[in-house]
Structure 1
Amino acid sequence: MAKSGIYVGLDIGTSSVKVVVAEYVDNQMNIIGVGNAKSEGINRGIVVDIEKTVNAIQRAVKQAEEKAGIQIRSVSVGLPANLLEVENCQGMIAVNSESKEITEEDVKNVASAAMVRSVPPERQIVAIIPQEFTVDGFEGIKDPRGMIGVRLEMFGLIYTGPKTIVHNVKKCVEKAGLIIDEVIITPLALTETILSDGEKDFGTIVMDLGGGQTTVAVMHDKQLKFTDVNQEGGEFVTKDISTVLNTSFNNAEALKINYGDAYPERTSAAEDFPVDVIGKDEPIKVDERYLSEIIEARMEQIFNKAKDVLDDIEAFELPGGVVLTGGAASLPGVVDLAQEIFDTTVKLYVPNHMGLRNPVFTNVISLVDYAANLGDVYRAANAAVTGEKLTKTVKSVVKEAPVKETPKQEEPKDAPVYQDVDDESKQDNESITDKVKGFFSNIFD
């Protein structure tokens, strides 16, 4: 069944808080509202001031409401990959019903069985992703609901994260007056959304160059297998320019945007521009090559740190190469520099939506698309994580709030959104080299 309805994504980033409202009609995404507010309570992707973060969320939501012409009630919020861990899981139960027909409750129960494990007190399970089910020994089942069986098994992946990060994100959203529909792991949504089926299957590295941090995610065999966060991002480039040239942060940001290039070979020492320097009455002249060398030094450090981590798991052996996205990825020369350092195929992902053709919006768009594609089996399994009661697949995402012509006009009632998304069947991989077949075996020993 084609997905339809309105979905709202919320991305709480270091540089800005972004909100996207998208309407789906016959599987086609149409973005009808966008909000973008400067973050003041976030440092390196982590909430450090709840009140300031709440204010930023409210400003971004208000912008999106005005553009979309609706009143936003609930959102799908992204969770950063800081200290995220991925584990295999397996659970088995006996089917309870007298008819032995497998229900959503059975899916929830087998997910609960798979979650029985020792989790440190400072961590919590964020999500569980069912990969396949086995019914009475019959393997490879994607959706067991409605089948007859005595024994149900589930194999999947469990994602755990720090309680502090999860709690603070939820607290900020709730204090902003919003209901959380889904808490989505941002790199999971990112890899699922921007990669092709072949890239997901054979393996690809996705690098999100944000303002306050750089997140590396590796997708292989259509599963998010690995994440890592480096606490450096685009704002560090701006700080370096500010420090070296002795100019204000705002001036440094303008220089980066207007004249910056991460690959000095593309620039000229003959081209210069004025820079206002603190303590001097007159601007000084700085050439493009010098500015590019400042930018290159930081970007090279970010890429080398990522390379060290990815070399440890032999990720560059995957044929998909590297996909760059995020606000800092839009800086000219970044792809050239990354290709030189990683010695593999590197490409830039830019969203293809009118008015949002900038990598800075990739995360929030991916959150919306991921939420819209969540299937009933996923929701049933994750009810074991959230503790929610299982009901029919109905989501009240937004309440229509058109401009009132008269004070007496009544507001329309909530319109539920029905979702029924078919899970894609996983294709067998028959042509991967032996080296790729053994990929990540060391992670899940």
Structure 2
Amino acid sequence: MDNSEVYVGLDIGTTSIKALVCENVKGQIRVIGVGVEPAAGMSRGVIVDIDKTARAISSAIAQAEEKSNIDIKEVIVGLPANYLQMQRVHGMITIANNGQSREIVDQDVLDLAREALTQSIPPERTVIDLVPTEFTVDGFDGIKDPRGMVGVRLEMKGTLYTGPKTIVHNAKKAIQQAGYTVRDFVVTPIATGFNLLNDGEQDFGTLVIDLGGGQTTTSIIHDHQLKYSYVDPEGGQYITKDISTVLNTSLKNAEQLKRDHGFADSTQADDDVQIDVTVVGQDKPVQYSEKYLSEVIEARIRQIFDRIARQLDRINAPELPGGVILIGGVAALPGIRALAKQYFSGNVKVFVPEQMGIRHPRFAISYALALYEDRLSGIDRLIKQVVQEADFGKTTPDTNAGNREPQSQRSIEDSNNSVQKRTNQEQTTKKKDGSFSSKFKSLFNNLFD
């Protein structure tokens, strides 16, 4: 089968690795294969043993290959938001030929993106993504795609996402060792926020909480951008360990008890339902009530939600019209919505993919990764090309170098200062009324590192 329209999303989680094969059929994404393998060599979303992780990746993709009848060669890889930094960038180039305006082409966008990336990045960090927010042609702003327009000066504003080189290198190495190549690296909150939320949720603001096995990632999506991300170091693994410790049973049994009988909200569990638990050192199973088991689960989830809520309070995050979206394996626990509503305002819902065979919150990331790659626009793909050059040290000859004069803001501080100056000017002309819009301005102007 020709797999030019096939996308393989690879979610390398702490407890499991999911490989999802999706095919674009007449503009619609269809899942045609899935592979799930217990993770190995992972700790809190980060690869710590490349060999073990490579074997697990190979097994997960092999399962997906068998079910989809596709020979997989490349994958779209989700990167955790651990130590993610976001920076505003601004690039500008002159595209005139002998002082005369001309039509903007792909090469101009490539050169502009390179100029936007011309800044000092610490040696221990690497560029993961560059997301343009708008282009400006000769002072006319708000442009999404400047190609085909005529102008003299081209500018771009965007958000630069960087992460530790170690995380990116280890992921790339493990995938190569498994026998595959990386088609694209995507920060998981970007993939989920841009593709699992509808247009209104992305525009007005939504909180996405990924309740994973090794950690919990909270992201704010607003104005179709990732504006904030917070990683809590606890996840489903900690719930399993709590059950194992309190009930004195093995981790394997604890995980099964959590999946089969656990509730996130213990008030929804039945105190009269008794569960046989294999206890270490006992010849016969010991009975515990479903409610007691759920109280153990609820205690850990409350700790996680409480820390997230306090973190949001610390940054003065306003109530988001889009509410809260829960994804990840822990989000499948009954009663999770009711518990989340005690900590977060607005509507709360659990995202479950509608595709047959993956109707579970744990497949949200791998599904979003495939959607992300499929929905990239022509401009996005050009920017991605430059990001990959920056990441892998590639160079592309500039055939029009003699016809333009690069003029970028080479210091992120300059860009931030100009944005802050405009914000201050706006604030002097507008009365402070504590409105939702004002809160967002004050919040997001200070979130970028």
SS of aligned partner of 1:298: helix
Which residue of 256, 259, 262 maps to 1:257?
A: 259
Identity %: 50
Q: Residue 77 of structure 1 corresponds to which residue in structure 2?
A: 77
CA distance in structure 1 between the aligned counterparts of 2:179 and 2:97, rounded to whole angstroms: 40
Question: Deviations 1:124-149 (Å, cap 9, x if unpaired)?
Answer: 11110111111111111111122222
SS of aligned partner of 1:355: coil
CA distance in structure 2 between the aligned counterparts of 1:230 and 1:91, rounded to whole angstroms: 34
Cα pair 1:42 1:49 within 8 Å, conserved:
yes
User: Is the helix fraction higher in 1 or 2?
Assistant: 2
Cα pair 1:380 1:390 within 8 Å, conserved:
no
CA distance in structure 1 between the aligned counterparts of 2:297 and 2:78, rounded to whole angstroms: 29
CA distance in structure 2 between the aligned counterparts of 1:178 and 1:434, rounded to whole angstroms: 47
Cα pair 2:81 2:189 within 8 Å, conserved:
yes
CA distance in structure 2 between the aligned counterparts of 1:196 and 1:176, rounded to whole angstroms: 35
CA distance in structure 2 between the aligned counterparts of 1:443 and 1:17, rounded to whole angstroms: 31
**Once structures 1 and 2 are overlaid, which stretch shifts more, 382-391 or 222-231?**
382-391
Q: Residue 60 of structure 2 corresponds to which residue in structure 1?
A: 60
Q: Residue 94 of structure 2 corresponds to which residue in structure 1?
A: 94
CA distance in structure 2 between the aligned counterparts of 1:389 and 1:144, rounded to whole angstroms: 23
Aligned residue identity for 2:231:
V
CA distance in structure 2 between the aligned counterparts of 1:314 and 1:369, rounded to whole angstroms: 32
Q: Residue 445 of structure 2 corresponds to which residue in structure 1?
A: 441
For residue 42 of structure 1, report the CA deviation from its aligned partner. 1.0
For residue 433 of structure 1, report the CA deviation from its aligned partner. 4.6
Cα pair 1:126 1:159 within 8 Å, conserved:
yes
How many residues align? The count is 403
Compute the TM-score of the two structures, normalised by the length of structure 1. 0.87
CA distance in structure 2 between the aligned counterparts of 1:444 and 1:259, rounded to whole angstroms: 42
Aligned residue identity for 1:443:
L
For residue 346 of structure 1, report the CA deviation from its aligned partner. 1.3
Equivalent residues in 2 for 1:134-145 (5 A)?
Answer: 134-145=136-147
Cα pair 1:215 1:229 within 8 Å, conserved:
yes
Residue 34 of structure 2 corresponds to residue 34 of structure 1: yes
Residue 206 of structure 2 corresponds to residue 204 of structure 1: yes
Q: Indicate how the Cα distance of structure 1 residues 321 and 254 shifts in structure 2: closer, same or farther if over 3 A, else same.
A: same
Q: Residue 195 of structure 2 corresponds to which residue in structure 1?
A: 193
Q: Residue 231 of structure 2 corresponds to which residue in structure 1?
A: 229
Cα pair 1:349 1:359 within 8 Å, conserved:
yes
Cα pair 2:318 2:439 within 8 Å, conserved:
no
CA distance in structure 2 between the aligned counterparts of 1:169 and 1:315, rounded to whole angstroms: 32
In structure 2, the gaps of 5 or more residues are: 398-434
CA distance in structure 1 between the aligned counterparts of 2:438 and 2:196, rounded to whole angstroms: 26
Residue 113 of structure 2 corresponds to residue 111 of structure 1: yes
SS of aligned partner of 1:71: coil
Residue 26 of structure 2 corresponds to residue 22 of structure 1: no
For residue 279 of structure 1, report the CA deviation from its aligned partner. 1.0
CA distance in structure 1 between the aligned counterparts of 2:96 and 2:246, rounded to whole angstroms: 68
Q: Residue 331 of structure 2 corresponds to which residue in structure 1?
A: 329
SS of aligned partner of 2:230: strand
Aligned-pair Cα RMSD in Å? 1.9
Aligned residue identity for 2:149:
M
In structure 1, the gaps of 5 or more residues are: 392-430
CA distance in structure 1 between the aligned counterparts of 2:261 and 2:382, rounded to whole angstroms: 51
Q: Residue 50 of structure 1 corresponds to which residue in structure 2?
A: 50
For residue 343 of structure 1, report the CA deviation from its aligned partner. 4.0
Equivalent residues in 2 for 1:143-158 (5 A)?
Answer: 143-158=145-160
CA distance in structure 2 between the aligned counterparts of 1:198 and 1:31, rounded to whole angstroms: 25
Cα pair 2:16 2:38 within 8 Å, conserved:
yes
Compute the TM-score of the two structures, normalised by the length of structure 2. 0.86
Question: Deviations 1:310-338 (Å, cap 9, x if unpaired)?
Answer: 12233342211111011110011111111
